[in-house]
Structure 1
């Protein structure tokens, strides 16, 4: 990893669905071409759902996941066209697929097809209302792990995301998540239920992991040309890593975003640009790596344009 240019981080599912069409705005002149490429790869009009669909449609995992990969790759391609040479890449959950595309490890068309298939498998794995994901603030990871153990008599529950110090997400069967959240609140935590249709990164998706492994075997992966910090291991992927097995495990494994950002910070990188809609990763980066500045794609693109226009 090089400290000279920013790292790019790619958003995961769980944010505000209404921000998705806004992310394909005037600050991304290549977005239209990338969306057309996604439509052709998928064989259905993802673009129509993005721009004309309801927020509920955009929250559906089978739509949200390829939509996020599309937007994030478009943002990154625009930055590359501007001359940005990312020092490192990291994705949050589905954002890992965008990171692999930008690193040259995975073709974009394969990535959106995998994202859509992954979303369909996840959507069918847990009936509506039987799962839940809840963000927990104010407790360290060890305390949340203890609370999840308290909730397990009611069903599957675990920590799906370790986002930053004092910022985690629990996921699993609805009753078990409720019990774990109650235990967290007893310790003073604040909780917010996430607007997702599937409980990600938990053992309820074990069957999905096995089915998705079959799809991954049909796709070509290459050694990343830019360092990609893996969600499962929180370290850079290398030629020796089996990306297929890591992406299958990724479905049930905890997202280790806090450790990923700390690794990027330790390498000397001083700036992170979030690609994708919303700004939830900005807050996570600020807490996980306080010495690293974090900025959204649109702001960074405008700032870089202004610097070059001014001759700097």
Structure 2
């Protein structure tokens, strides 16, 4: 009899946010409600009063803002992941996209939840005055979009072989969008009001270093894949403060990281967050499309009524409950397969350049 596949949790980032995300589950599931209240209280200590607006499930100009979307996405992702762990599921690995990587690191024990929230609150404060900008989802590969990039408008994420996000300041991104549409390339704006994963955020991002230096950083207790340097995150890399500080300014390589997760075994990929955007990406991956691995969401694609959300979550949790944990040591020591290395300097011109000493 074939053993059931291992579970891997996926955590989405900016762009996945929705009005009412997870609200139905909050009202119907006491375990999730307890975890969500716990993390929202941590944000409250930093001046973020999120609960009332979140529960009201209203769309407003603030829905996609840095000060609303980032803390709510962190909170929802973490509470869902923590609820899965509370149910006794022991995933073989964790993989996050953008802020989802901080969530994954927190669940893996690299950060304590209170410290992670403090780091995120500080990050938001540092980035809050950054130039207006955004991200543009493009149905093309990194090489195909190269003619539309510049020193400021760059490939901010590689989600799949022919799905990237361009990131940059508003004016440059608008010009790139017009040129892409004129060339017949399918593209659409992502739900972000900041130029996340663009080098224009480098200086602001590095101001996070002092707080990071005060936070304990521990070895991951679970296999934690990084989408910034695809592969299992080592303790040595996790202790590098610049690795965390620069994440808002560096490209997210979710596609190559997912390739690694799926390289040598079938798994159940479970998205712990709203919208099922990562689930949709995963279902198009050859290892999933051919029927070996599976991809599911812990929440439905659109927010629903409490009973419906609770039933949906319970079914997903039941699917994960039979999934055994993989050999963590073997996965953590796995080298990056040939062909999955990505040249960061090709995506971000100047990515390897030294950082000015006055902003370290």
TM range (shorter): 0.7 to 0.9
SS at structure 1 position matched to 2:98: coil
The match for 1:47 is: 51
8 Å CA contact 1:7, 1:86 repeated in 2: yes
Shift of 1:31: 2.5
TM-score (norm 1): 0.87
| 1:173 is the counterpart of 2:173 | no
Structure having the higher helix fraction is: 1
Unpaired runs of at least 5, structure 2: 300-311, 323-360
Q: 1:29 to 1:108 in 2, by over 3 A?
A: same
Which stretch shows the higher mean deviation, 297-306 or 234-243?
297-306
1:63 to 61, 68, 72: 68
Tell me, in whole angstroms, the C-alpha distance in 2 between the residues paired with 1:218 and 1:86: 30
Tell me, in whole angstroms, the C-alpha distance in 2 between the residues paired with 1:243 and 1:287: 34
The match for 1:251 is: 248
The match for 2:147 is: 146
8 Å CA contact 1:11, 1:95 repeated in 2: yes
8 Å CA contact 1:28, 1:75 repeated in 2: no
Tell me, in whole angstroms, the C-alpha distance in 1 between the residues paired with 2:222 and 2:320: 25
1:31-180 residue pairs with structure 2 within 5 A?
A: 31-42=32-43, 43=45, 44=47, 45-52=49-56, 54-55=58-59, 56-126=61-131, 130-137=132-139, 139-149=140-150, 152=151, 156-180=152-176
Shift of 1:32: 2.2
Shift of 1:90: 0.7
Q: 1:230 to 1:33 in 2, by over 3 A?
A: same
Which stretch shows the higher mean deviation, 68-77 or 239-248?
239-248
1:260 to 257, 260, 264: 257
Work out the number of aligned pairs and report it. Answer: 299
Shift of 1:257: 0.2
SS at structure 1 position matched to 2:217: coil
The match for 1:302 is: 315
8 Å CA contact 2:268, 2:320 repeated in 1: no
Q: 1:308 to 1:125 in 2, by over 3 A?
A: closer
Which stretch shows the higher mean deviation, 3-12 or 295-304?
295-304
Q: Which string of whole-angstrom CA distances, capped at 9 and with x for unpartnered residues, describes residues 167-211 of structure 1?
A: 111111222112322343344321111222211010121122211
Which stretch shows the higher mean deviation, 22-31 or 187-196?
22-31
| 1:207 is the counterpart of 2:195 | no
Shift of 1:254: 0.4
8 Å CA contact 1:22, 1:277 repeated in 2: no
Q: 1:200 to 1:89 in 2, by over 3 A?
A: same
8 Å CA contact 1:65, 1:116 repeated in 2: no
SS at structure 1 position matched to 2:229: coil
8 Å CA contact 2:35, 2:83 repeated in 1: no
Tell me, in whole angstroms, the C-alpha distance in 2 between the residues paired with 1:266 and 1:257: 14
Cα RMSD of the aligned pairs, angstroms, is 2.5
Tell me, in whole angstroms, the C-alpha distance in 2 between the residues paired with 1:306 and 1:162: 29
